[in-house]
Structure 1
Amino acid sequence: MKIIIAGAGEVGFHLAKLLSYESQEITLIDINKESLSYANDHLDIRVIRGDVTSIAILKEARINTAELFIAVTSSETTNITACVLAKQLGAKRTIARISNSEFIDQKDEVGFTKFGIDELISPELLAASEIELLLNQYGFNDSYEFEKGALTMLSLRLSRTATFIDKTVREAAQVFPELHFVPIAIQRFGTQYTIIPRGDTQFKEGDKVVFMTSKGGDDELIELSGKIKAEVKNVMILGGSNIGQKTASDLCENKFNVKLIENDKETAFDLADDLPNALVINGDGRNVDLLEEENINEMDAFISVTGNSETNIMSCLVAKSKGVKKTIALVENMDYYQLSHSIGIDTLINKKLLAANNIFRYIRKGKVVAMTKLSNMNAELLEFEVTSKSKITRKRIKDLDFPRSAIIGGVIRDEKGIIPLGDFQVEVGDKVVVCSLPRSISKVEKFFF
């Protein structure tokens, strides 16, 4: 697939890096010579220096042959303009990064597709949504919803109190036959290897296990994992960035008690006007005395989303030491992201990875509705829409020659989530969620052509 990326900043470079691993034909455009030089030295891609809104530059990139044009510069105006031009010059599909969440909320009314923009993404909005979902799924480290919660992916570390420790998947299924969840990926404690579980795979203490759940499965999972489900009501947010403001606004709408700490005085006053239902505090959130004065020990969750990864990590560790049960830190450094469990923070989130996950579904074959990479694990979750041509409809699941390193985690039929067993047969119109290791994705895609 020929893909052109406009913008060699953090999101653009990360996308180019991930897509180049997929053997895609990538062209990266940016006006910044230094950013392009770094990308050219480290990635097997073509780079072009110039203004992404220049028609001449777009033609030099052979925009008329591009199957996907992605504009992810820091300027949403530039991104929108570039996408409109790219579409008019022959690009098949365009995606624009924006920061104004109103554009996404009102995209159907405005009709962005009419003037050439097929999809809008906001890394900040994706991060805020991820934080809210994690707070609603209190006992879990990662979560991802399909079709407004018809199916939900949840991950956790198995403690010694988990009911299914030392049982195989098959044994656990026999003991708890009516449960609404299934394991779809396991990472053994102390390793970087991802296992797609089969019937004889055994659960071990310390495993990071990713489950697919239908409605009610999260409560069952909490009970059997030995964890205690606690309600999150009091939340402290450090950082009044776009993510911090959007998170605080969403949480206030959902009746959370929110305290937001912002170091910049002018920004803090603006936030206080915009967030009448939150308590906005002007101060340095790295100051332990300030955190104690604001009763950090009474918080159910602490979220740090300043522009500095190290500040976010350290403040979350301070919150953890003061008894806060749930901590979430925004990080830009992917090396930190790989170390979330050993660092001691419940969840690290990364805007670049969230944006990449959102865009990745456009390069997959078959009708991919949603897609996400599992946090710190070498596997992908893909949601396919089943058409009349899809080969997966022709046999029961157990009779399909499905790759061993992939698993059908769930099916959505008539807006209802189903955890399918071997005798289940997929039908046209279903949406099927598959977890797969990278080496099997091309084989999985063939079932949905």
Structure 2
Amino acid sequence: MKIIIVGCGKIGVTLAEQLNSEHHDITLIDSDGAALQAVTDRIDVMGVTGNGAVYQVQMEAGIKEADLLIATTNSDELNMLCCLIAKKAGNCHTIARIRNPEYSAEINYIREELNLSLAINPELAAAREIARLLRFPSAIKIEPFAKGRIELLKFLIPEKSVLNNMKIMDVVSRMHSNVLICAVERGSDVMIPDGNFEMRSGDKISFLAPHAESADFFRKAGIVNNTVKTAMFVGGGKITYYLSKALADTKIKIRIIEKNEERCRELSELLPGAMIIHGDGSDQKLLLEEGIRQTEAFASLTGFDEENIMLSLYAASQSNAKLITKVNKIAFENVINSLNLGSVIYPKLVTADIILQYVRGMQNSMGSNVETLYKIVADQAEALEFRVMEDSPVVGVPLEKLPLIDHLLVACINRKGRIIMPRGKDTIEPGDTVIIVTTHTGLNDLGDIIK
């Protein structure tokens, strides 16, 4: 597909890299010629210097032939204007990044009136992910599938867990849990395990399970999963605001430490249920006074990656709190993953995943389409949910007889709301949605799973 991306900031560049790796024809528009040059030197994309909201600049970028325009500049209004002009000039699909909390209440109206295909708010998407983690603190990552009926959870096997040295095939018989272990991270390796694979303490395990089953599995594996009752957030930005709003219906007592006095006043009006503390979140004395040793969850959500990482490491040294660390830059990911930072949230990756999911669904016309897409590990493994059409080549054939490509697992079948953890005799039928876990990135159609 021909895709135009306006704005080569963090999200624009991340999208350009990922969409380019999936062989789309990408054109980047940005008014900063030097920044644009740096990106086009590094990845094989076209660059057009200029204001993306100007008709002539969009024409130069090829809006007439474009299938999709994605506006990711720092200005919500400019993004909306870019999409409006693209719709008139090229009649293509449009996606706008809209971050201002004032617009979030009216997002459906804005989307309809501007005829946007998708309006995305990175901070709101990241806050929703954090809220899910605080409701299920033993997990490092939680992704919902099948409209929330089933979840993909990632957790770390602790030292004395019953899972240590257990083979995958023994999990169901020995633990009587209806879960399917679908990916294992060991050091820098990512594997789709077979039944003979032996798990070890220190492995990061991703498994699929219905919501009720996952809590049961954690209990049987000896992993404590008490719901969080107290949480401390450092940094009072947009993510903290959206997160506190998302947790308003829970009984979690929230403390927010924010350096800017004016922002503290704003937050105290916007979030009457939270305790707002004016102070420097990197001040150890303040953190101890405010109860960092007693808090059950700690999220470092400032605008500086280095500060967030140091704060989480300090929190880990002082307490057993559920840790959440916001990181904006994806560089040094291997180093970050080796540190004890709990759940690491990359807002731009959350955003890129949602947009990639939309693009995959858009380009798919063959027999099925991608309903949901999550990266289990940045560029190494994906979990995809496909809708099955009548003429798909996988329909009606028992799974044990399907010549599936290597490093791929049919992890779950959702048949009209009934969740099936598939075995060899099970078949895929029209109307099902099917979850596939694989280390092959870029699958676009359910037919792609066959050799």
TM-score bracket, shorter-length normalisation: over 0.9
Q: Residue type of the partner of 1:42?
A: R
Question: Counterpart of 1:438 in 2: which secondary structure?
Answer: coil
Aligned partner of 2:177 in structure 1 is: 179
Aligned partner of 1:438 in structure 2 is: 440
Question: Counterpart of 2:227 in 1: which secondary structure?
Answer: coil
Aligned pairs for 1:272-287 (under 5 A) are 272-287=268-283
Q: Distance in 1 between matches of 2:196 and 2:33?
A: 54
Say if 2:49 is the partner of 1:49.
Answer: yes
Aligned partner of 1:157 in structure 2 is: 156
Query: Quick one: which of 268, 287, 290 aligns to 1:291?
Result: 287
Shift of 1:443: 7.2
Closer, same or farther: CA 141–424 of 1 in aligned 2, 3 Å: same
Shift of 1:32: 1.3
Aligned partner of 2:383 in structure 1 is: 381
Q: Which moved more, 1:419-428 or 1:63-72?
A: 419-428
Closer, same or farther: CA 358–160 of 1 in aligned 2, 3 Å: same
Query: Any conservation in 2 of the 1:337–1:348 contact (CA below 8 Å)?
Result: no
Closer, same or farther: CA 34–124 of 1 in aligned 2, 3 Å: same
Closer, same or farther: CA 443–437 of 1 in aligned 2, 3 Å: farther
Question: Counterpart of 1:129 in 2: which secondary structure?
Answer: helix
Structure 1 residues not aligned, in runs of 5+: none
Query: Quick one: which of 307, 311, 320 aligns to 2:307?
Result: 311
The two structures, once aligned, show a CA RMSD in angstroms of 2.0
Aligned partner of 1:61 in structure 2 is: 61
Query: Any conservation in 2 of the 1:340–1:347 contact (CA below 8 Å)?
Result: no
Query: Any conservation in 2 of the 1:214–1:418 contact (CA below 8 Å)?
Result: no
Q: Which moved more, 1:300-309 or 1:113-122?
A: 113-122
Aligned pairs for 1:281-360 (under 5 A) are 281-360=277-356
Q: Residue type of the partner of 1:47?
A: G
Say if 2:413 is the partner of 1:414.
Answer: no
Shift of 1:439: 5.6
Moved over 4 A (4+): 101-108, 442-445
Q: Distance in 1 between matches of 2:162 and 2:111?
A: 50
Question: Counterpart of 1:217 in 2: which secondary structure?
Answer: helix
Q: Which moved more, 1:375-384 or 1:307-316?
A: 375-384
Q: Distance in 2 between matches of 1:121 and 1:258?
A: 26
Shift of 1:423: 1.9
Aligned pairs for 1:156-305 (under 5 A) are 156-176=155-175, 178-188=176-186, 190=187, 192-305=188-301
Q: Distance in 1 between matches of 2:350 and 2:371?
A: 15
Closer, same or farther: CA 31–352 of 1 in aligned 2, 3 Å: same
State TM-score, norm by structure 2: 0.93
Shift of 1:375: 3.4
Q: Distance in 1 between matches of 2:207 and 2:32?
A: 43
Query: Any conservation in 2 of the 1:186–1:210 contact (CA below 8 Å)?
Result: yes
Q: What are the superposed Cα offsets for residues 356-383 of structure 1, whole Å, 9 maximum, x if unpaired?
A: 1111113323411111111356101111
Query: Any conservation in 2 of the 1:127–1:350 contact (CA below 8 Å)?
Result: yes
Aligned partner of 2:139 in structure 1 is: 140
Query: Any conservation in 2 of the 1:2–1:24 contact (CA below 8 Å)?
Result: yes
Q: What are the superposed Cα offsets for residues 254-307 of structure 1, whole Å, 9 maximum, x if unpaired?
A: 221000011000011111111100000110000011111111111000011110
Query: Any conservation in 2 of the 1:159–1:226 contact (CA below 8 Å)?
Result: no
Q: Distance in 2 between matches of 1:440 and 1:40?
A: 22
Closer, same or farther: CA 423–403 of 1 in aligned 2, 3 Å: same
Q: Distance in 1 between matches of 2:343 and 2:107?
A: 31
Q: Percent identity?
A: 30
Q: Distance in 2 between matches of 1:263 and 1:417?
A: 47
Aligned pairs for 1:75-90 (under 5 A) are 75-90=75-90
Q: Distance in 2 between matches of 1:231 and 1:336?
A: 32
Question: Counterpart of 1:246 in 2: which secondary structure?
Answer: helix
Question: Counterpart of 1:381 in 2: which secondary structure?
Answer: strand
Q: Which moved more, 1:390-399 or 1:341-350?
A: 390-399
Structure 2 residues not aligned, in runs of 5+: none
Aligned partner of 1:429 in structure 2 is: 431
Q: Residue type of the partner of 1:14?
A: T
Q: Residue type of the partner of 1:184?
A: C
Q: Distance in 2 between matches of 1:99 and 1:440?
A: 28
Aligned partner of 1:98 in structure 2 is: 98
Query: Any conservation in 2 of the 1:236–1:302 contact (CA below 8 Å)?
Result: yes
State TM-score, norm by structure 1: 0.93
Closer, same or farther: CA 80–417 of 1 in aligned 2, 3 Å: farther
Shift of 1:157: 1.7
Q: Distance in 1 between matches of 2:281 and 2:114?
A: 44
Question: Counterpart of 1:335 in 2: which secondary structure?
Answer: coil
Closer, same or farther: CA 238–73 of 1 in aligned 2, 3 Å: same
Question: Counterpart of 1:94 in 2: which secondary structure?
Answer: strand
Shift of 1:106: 4.7
How many residue pairs get aligned? The number is: 444
Shift of 1:132: 0.4
Q: Distance in 1 between matches of 2:23 and 2:158?
A: 39
Question: Counterpart of 1:289 in 2: which secondary structure?
Answer: helix
Shift of 1:141: 1.0
Q: Distance in 2 between matches of 1:133 and 1:71?
A: 28
Q: Distance in 2 between matches of 1:435 and 1:232?
A: 30
Q: Distance in 2 between matches of 1:130 and 1:440?
A: 23
Question: Counterpart of 2:148 in 1: which secondary structure?
Answer: coil
Q: Distance in 2 between matches of 1:104 and 1:393?
A: 41
Q: Distance in 2 between matches of 1:115 and 1:342?
A: 44
Closer, same or farther: CA 215–324 of 1 in aligned 2, 3 Å: closer
Q: Distance in 2 between matches of 1:347 and 1:119?
A: 27
Query: Any conservation in 1 of the 2:136–2:227 contact (CA below 8 Å)?
Result: no
Q: Which moved more, 1:295-304 or 1:81-90?
A: 81-90
Question: Counterpart of 2:198 in 1: which secondary structure?
Answer: coil
